[in-house]
Structure 1
């Protein structure tokens, strides 16, 4: 799990989001609004949007692309349960929350690191 993950607001551009991902070597950004997680934007979300229509990443906002189908777990969730949730919903990440507070993000890379250690 990546604790205190880098986040983004829904009003920021997709270009800003993509640059943030590249600059930090990440593929998922929790989307925040008023201190709460609204969803997750993935690099795949951006690439899919680019592939189906001609888009200007400087014009489109995060709000146009992120998934608001939020999957979250508590900090002490069993890793097998977390991985099963990701598999069942075919998602590359889940947010880790204590109540409404964002604690971290768990990605498929974290799962691979866990099983190969």
Structure 2
């Protein structure tokens, strides 16, 4: 099985100049946890839901309206929080290769790049679904425990 068969094609992306709060809203609106950052179709970074989250501790520590704006991502570009060392994979690689990249790098999504352009994204969930499809025994006990 290849990455091409399981990746999300034409992924939702964001420009590096978009403000952090807008990226967070895009992720929430689309029900996604990873947002590739592209410029002119070329992958330059990736943002995860953890990169754009607002937690209670951050809000408590901000102490002012200006601090709240900073924590919420108003006036701050995605380029300031994105990971720039992005591990990617080609669409013709195996799903197993994608899973190994994610496991070795402790990440849960890998952008898919072909001819220098972003063409998709594959996640740990996609890899699990591929494994369940490939091996019916994996799916037969889903949701149940052996006695």
Asked if Structure 1 and Structure 2 have the same fold, meaning a TM-score greater than 0.5 normalized by the shorter chain, the answer is yes
Aligned residue runs from structure 1 range 1-117, under 5 A: 1-47=7-53, 54=62, 55-117=71-133
Q: How many residues align?
A: 117
C-alpha displacement of 1:56: 3.0
Q: Is the 8 A contact 2:46 2:83 kept in 1?
A: yes
Runs of 4+ aligned structure 1 residues displaced above 3 Å come to 48-54
Question: How far apart are the structure 1 equivalents of 2:18 and 2:119?
Answer: 22
5+ unaligned residues in a row in structure 1: which ranges?
none
5+ unaligned residues in a row in structure 2: which ranges?
1-6, 63-70, 134-147
Q: Is the 8 A contact 1:49 1:65 kept in 2?
A: no
Question: How far apart are the structure 2 equivalents of 1:83 and 1:56?
Answer: 33
Greater mean deviation of Cα atoms: 57-66 or 107-116 = 107-116
Q: TM-score when scaled to structure 2?
A: 0.72
Q: Which has the higher strand share?
A: 1
Question: How far apart are the structure 2 equivalents of 1:103 and 1:2?
Answer: 9
DSSP 3-state at the match of 1:45? helix
Structure number with greater Rg is 2
C-alpha displacement of 1:48: 7.6
Q: Which has the higher helix share?
A: 2
Question: How far apart are the structure 2 equivalents of 1:105 and 1:42?
Answer: 13
Q: Is the 8 A contact 2:109 2:123 kept in 1?
A: yes
DSSP 3-state at the match of 1:29? strand
